[in-house]
C-alpha cells in the first residue's frame, strides 16, 4: 500500500484522505455536535436543580405526555400503512403505480404549515364534517385527533420510503416460493416478507418516530397550542422561549434531544447484536 | 401425474407471451422446455405451477381440469431460476417450510418433520448443512437445497426454471446427473426449462422446442436431432 504506483483505484492519496476526514469532522462538529452540546449547556446554566424544577411544572409534564402519546399512536399506524403501501407497490403490477409513489412522497414536498391548514379547513368547525363532529363531542381541530392526523401526514413517507427500495431489490421470488410450498397470504407475509424487511422497517420506524416527536409546523397550526392540553414538546419549547424562560425552554429541548438519542442508541445496539443476521438478510 | 396443456395462451398487456399451445406430458416423464430467451418457457412453467393464469385454454392434471386451482392447491414442487431460498432461514428451516405451512390437521409432528428433512438432505447428498444459511452455500448447493425444499411437500410434479442456469460448466454436468437420479428415484413427472440444447438432449425423455410463444416441435431427443420439423429447430439445435 505504501507503493504509490500500485495503490488501488479507489484509494485516495494520504493528503486527500486527511483533508476529506477533516472536512467531515468539521462539518459534523459545527452542524450537529455543537448545537446539541449548546442545548444541554443552556439547559443546565442554572444548575441541574433548576432544570429539573422546570420540568416538574405541570404544563411541561403535560407536553411530554402528549408528545409521547401522539408518537405511540401515529408511529404504529404509519408503520402499518407504510408496510401496506410498500407491499402493494412492490408485489403487484397495476396502472398508476408511478402516481401512487409520487403521492406517498407528497408530505415531503408540502410545507407542514400548509398540511396543518388543510386539516383545519377540512375538519375545522367551519366545515360541514368538522361542525358535525364537534356537535357529536369529537372535535378534531384543537384536539388530540387533529394532532395525530397532522403528525401522521407529515411522517407518512418515512416507513414506505425505507421499505420500497428494499422490497424491489428482494423481488417476489421468495414469496412465490412460499406460495408454491402451500403457504397462504398471511403466512407468507409473517414468515417471509416481514423477516426480510425488518431492518428497513426498523430504520423507517425510528426515523418516523424522531420526526413525529419533533414535528412543529403542522402541529402548531392544528393544535392551537393550548397549554396543558394540546401543546406538545416542540410547541411548548417555542412558547417558553418566546417568554424568555430559556432554562425551561432548553431543558425541554434537551429532553427532546435525549429521546432522539435514545432511539439512535437503540438502533445501534440492535445492529451490534444482530450483525450476523443483518449480513445474512441483506443479500445472498 | 399426467399433465395436459390444452390450447393455452397468455397475454401480458399487448405482448403475447404464449400463442395457443397444446402439449401432453405422460406420467413420470422428464420433459425439457427448450428455446431461446423470451420464447415463453417460464410463462408456460408458471402457468403449470399456478403462479400465472392463462388468458385462455385449460390445464388438466390426470384428466381433471386444474385451470382454476390455486398455486397452493396445485402442489407443484417449483425450483426457481435464482432458487429463491428464504435468506433469513437455515437450510433446515427452508426445507421444512412446506411441512410447517400445512394446516395443523395434516402437519407432521416436529420429530417427523426433522426426520423428513434429514432424509431429504441425504437424498441431495448434503447431510451436514442443515444449520447453515443460504448465503453460506455455493451455487450448486443452493440448487440442491431448492430441490429438496420442493420435494419436501410431496409434490405431484416437479417444475424447474433453468435449474442449471446460474452454475459453472463442471457443476452443471454433475447436477444434471443428480436431477436425473432424483427423477428416477421419485418417479415424479418433471418439467424443466432450459435454453441449452445439450442439456435438454442429454437429460430429457421428451424435448419441447419453443420459439416466440409457439411450440415448434415435440419429440424424443434423437428424433428431433434426426428430423427437425422446422427451419428454426434445425438452426437452434445446430443440426
Ligand atoms: N410479468 C410479465 N409482464 C410482462 N411481460 C412478460 C411478463 N413475463 C414475461 N413477459 C414477456 O413474455 C415473453 C415470454 O417470457 P418468458 O416466458 O419469460 O420467456 P423465457 O422464459 O422463454 O425466456 C417475453 O416477451 C417477456 O418479455
Ligand atoms: Mg425464463
Nearest CA in chain A to B90: A280
Residue nearest to atom 4 of ligand 1 (CA): B12
pLDDT in tens, A40-76: 998 898 888 888 888 888 888 999 999 999 999 999 9
Give the pTM: 0.84
Q: Whose CA is nearest to atom 8 of ligand 1?
A: B43
pLDDT at A1: 46
Nearest CA distance, B198 vs chain A (angstrom): 27
Contact at CB, B101 and A182, closer than 8 angstroms = yes
DSSP-derived letter for residue B56 is E
Q: What is the dihedral of CA B89, B93, B97, B103, to 10 degrees?
A: -120
Give A84→chain B minimum CA distance, Å.
21
Give chain B positions within 8 Å (CB) of A280: 87-88, 133-135
Fold of A48-282: MetI-like fold (1.10.3720)
Contacts of residues A234-238 at CB distance under 8 Å and 24 or more positions apart, as own/partner, are A234/A67, A235/A63, A236/A59, A236/A60, A236/A63
Find which of A218-227, A238-247, B14-23 is predicted with most confidence, using mean pLDDT. Answer: B14-23
Residues of A in contact with B142 (CB under 8 A): 284
Question: Do you know the residue count of chain B?
Answer: 239
Chain A residue with CA closest to B138: the answer is A284
- With H, G, I as helix, E, B as strand and everything else as coil, classify residue B69: coil
Q: By alpha-carbon position, which residue is closest to atom 25 of ligand 1?
A: B38
Q: Is A177–B80 a contact, with Cβ atoms under 8 angstroms apart?
A: yes
pLDDT classification of A3: cutoffs 50, 70, 90 = low
User: In this predicted structure, what is the pLDDT of residue A284?
Assistant: 39
- Is a pLDDT exceeding 50 seen at residue A283? no
Residue whose C-alpha cell is 417460464:
B42
Whole-number pLDDT of residue A236: 92
Closest CA of chain A from B7, distance in Å: 24
Contact check, Cβ <8 Å, A182/B102:
yes
Residue of B nearest to A184 (CA): B72
Mean of the per-residue pLDDT values of chain A: 88
pLDDT at B225: 92
Q: Which of A176, A187, A281 sits opposite B87 (nearest CB)?
A: A281
Q: At what angle do helices A144-155 and A58-91 cross, to 10 degrees?
A: 40
Give the strands of the sheet with B30-34, arranged side by side. Answer: B76-79, B157-161, B189-194, B30-34, B206-211, B214-219
**Structural domain spans, chain A:** 8-43, 48-282
How many percent of chain A have pLDDT more than 70? Answer: 94
**Which is nearest to B60 in space by CA: B1, B4, B9?**
B4
Rounded Cα distance between A102 and A62, Å, is 37
- Give the contacts of B171 (CB within 8 A, at least 6 positions apart): B138, B139, B140
Of the two residues A9 and B74, the one the predictor is more confident about is B74
Q: Which residues in A lie closer than 8 A to residue B152 (C-beta atoms)?
A: 181
CA distance readout (Å), B97 to A67, A182, B93, B149, B151:
43, 9, 6, 8, 11
pLDDT at A276: 63
Contact assessment for residue A94 and residue A140, using Cβ atoms and an 8 Å cutoff:
no
Instruction: List strands edge to edge, sheet with B3-12.
Output: B15-25, B3-12, B56-61, B64-65
Report ipTM (2 d.p.): 0.94
Rounded CA separation B160/B48 (Å) = 11
Give pLDDT tens digits along chain B (239 positions). Answer: 999 999 999 999 899 999 999 999 999 999 999 999 999 999 999 999 999 999 999 999 999 999 999 999 999 999 999 999 999 999 999 999 999 999 999 999 999 999 999 999 999 999 999 999 999 999 999 999 999 999 999 999 999 999 998 788 888 888 898 899 999 999 999 999 999 999 999 999 999 999 999 999 999 999 999 999 999 999 998 85
Closest CA to B163 of B68, B40, B80, B50: B80
Which helix or strand (DSSP H or E) is residue B212 part of?
none
**Which residue from B minimizes the CA distance to A274?**
B88
Smallest Cα distance from B71 to chain A, Å? 6
Please give the number of the atom of ligand 1 that sits closest to the Cα of B193: 21
Separation between Cα atoms, residue B63 and residue B60, nearest integer Å: 5
C-beta neighbour count of A89 within 10 angstroms: 20
Residue A215: is its pLDDT beyond 70?
yes
Q: Nine-digit cell at A216?
A: 412543529
The C-alpha atoms of residue B101 and residue B105 are separated, in whole angstroms, by 11
Does the pLDDT of residue A173 top 70, yes or no? yes
Q: Which residues line ligand 1 (CB under 6 A)?
A: B 12, 15, 17, 35, 37-43
Task: Report the candidate in B139, B202, B203, B143 with the shortest Cα–Cα distance to residue B168.
Answer: B139
For chain B, list the strands marked E by DSSP: 3-12, 15-25, 30-34, 56-61, 64-65, 76-79, 157-161, 189-194, 206-211, 214-219
With 0-12 / 13-18 / 19 or more C-beta atoms within 10 angstroms meaning exposed / middle / buried, residue A229 is middle
DSSP state letter for B236: H
| pLDDT score recorded for residue A246 | 85
Q: What does the pLDDT look like over A109-135, one tens digit per residue? A: 999 999 999 999 988 888 888 888 888
Amino acid at each position: 500500500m505504501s507503493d504509490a504506483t500500485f495503490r488501488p483505484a479507489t484509494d485516495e492519496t494520504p493528503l486527500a484522505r486527511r483533508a476529506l476526514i477533516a472536512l467531515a469532522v468539521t462539518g459534523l462538529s459545527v452542524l450537529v455536535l455543537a448545537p446539541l452540546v449548546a442545548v444541554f449547556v443552556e439547559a443546565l446554566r442554572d444548575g441541574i436543580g433548576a432544570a429539573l424544577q422546570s420540568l416538574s411544572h405541570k404544563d411541561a409534564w403535560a407536553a411530554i405526555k402528549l408528545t409521547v402519546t401522539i408518537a405511540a399512536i401515529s408511529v404504529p399506524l404509519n408503520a402499518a400503512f407504510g408496510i401496506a403501501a410498500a407491499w402493494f407497490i412492490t408485489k403487484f403490477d397495476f396502472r398508476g403505480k408511478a402516481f401512487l409513489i409520487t403521492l406517498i412522497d407528497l408530505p415531503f414536498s408540502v410545507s407542514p404549515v400548509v398540511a396543518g391548514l388543510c386539516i383545519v379547513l377540512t375538519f375545522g368547525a367551519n366545515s360541514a364534517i368538522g361542525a358535525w363532529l364537534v356537535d357529536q363531542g369529537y372535535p378534531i381541530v384543537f384536539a388530540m385527533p387533529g394532532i395525530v392526523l397532522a403528525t401522521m401526514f407529515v411522517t407518512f413517507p418515512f416507513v414506505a420510503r425505507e421499505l420500497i427500495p428494499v422490497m424491489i431489490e428482494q423481488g417476489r421470488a421468495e414469496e412465490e416460493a412460499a406460495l408454491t410450498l402451500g403457504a397462504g397470504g398471511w403466512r407468507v407475509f409473517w414468515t417471509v416478507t416481514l423477516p426480510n424487511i425488518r431492518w428497513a422497517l426498523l430504520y423507517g420506524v425510528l426515523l418516523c418516530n424522531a420526526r413525529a416527536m419533533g414535528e412543529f409546523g403542522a402541529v402548531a397550526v392544528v393544535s392551537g397550542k393550548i397549554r396543558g392540553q394540546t401543546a406538545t414538546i416542540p410547541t411548548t419549547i417555542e412558547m417558553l422561549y418566546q417568554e424568555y424562560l430559556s432554562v425551561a425552554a432548553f431543558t425541554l429541548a434537551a429532553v427532546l434531544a435525549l429521546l432522539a438519542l435514545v432511539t439512535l442508541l437503540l438502533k445501534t445496539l440492535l445492529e451490534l447484536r444482530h450483525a450476523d443476521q443483518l449480513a445474512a438478510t441483506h443479500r445472498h | 401425474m399426467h399433465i395436459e396443456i390444452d390450447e393455452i395462451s397468455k397475454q401480458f398487456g399487448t405482448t403475447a407471451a404464449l400463442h395457443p399451445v397444446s402439449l401432453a406430458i405422460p406420467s413420470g416423464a422428464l420433459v425439457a422446455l427448450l428455446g431461446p430467451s423470451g420464447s415463453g418457457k417460464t410463462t408456460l412453467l408458471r402457468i403449470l405451477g399456478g403462479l400465472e393464469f392463462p388468458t385462455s385454454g385449460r390445464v388438466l392434471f390426470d384428466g381433471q381440469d386444474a385451470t382454476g386451482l390455486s398455486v397452493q392447491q396445485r402442489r407443484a414442487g417449483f425450483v426457481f431460476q435464482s432458487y429463491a431460498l428464504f435468506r433469513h432461514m437455515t437450510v433446515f428451516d427452508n426445507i421444512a417450510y412446506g411441512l410447517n405451512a400445512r394446516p395443523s390437521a395434516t402437519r407432521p409432528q416436529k420429530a417427523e418433520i426433522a426426520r423428513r428433512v434429514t432424509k431429504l438432505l441425504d437424498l441431495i447428498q448434503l447431510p451436514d448443512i442443515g444449520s447453515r444459511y443460504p448465503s453460506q452455500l455455493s451455487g450448486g448447493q443452493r440448487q440442491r437445497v431448492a430441490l429438496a425444499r420442493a420435494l419436501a411437500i410431496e409434490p405431484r410434479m416437479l417444475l424447474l426454471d433453468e435449474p442449471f442456469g446460474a452454475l459453472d460448466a463442471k457443476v452443471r454436468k454433475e447436477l444434471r446427473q443428480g436431477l436425473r437420479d432424483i427423477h428416477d428415484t421419485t418417479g415424479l413427472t418433471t418439467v424443466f426449462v432450459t435454453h441449452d440444447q445439450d442439456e435438454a438432449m442429454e437429460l430429457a425423455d421428451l424435448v419441447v422446442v419453443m420459439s416466440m410463444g409457439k411450440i415448434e416441435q415435440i419429440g424424443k431427443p434423437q428424433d428431433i436431432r434426426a428430423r427437425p420439423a422446422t427451419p428454426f429447430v434445425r438452426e437452434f439445435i445446430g443440426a
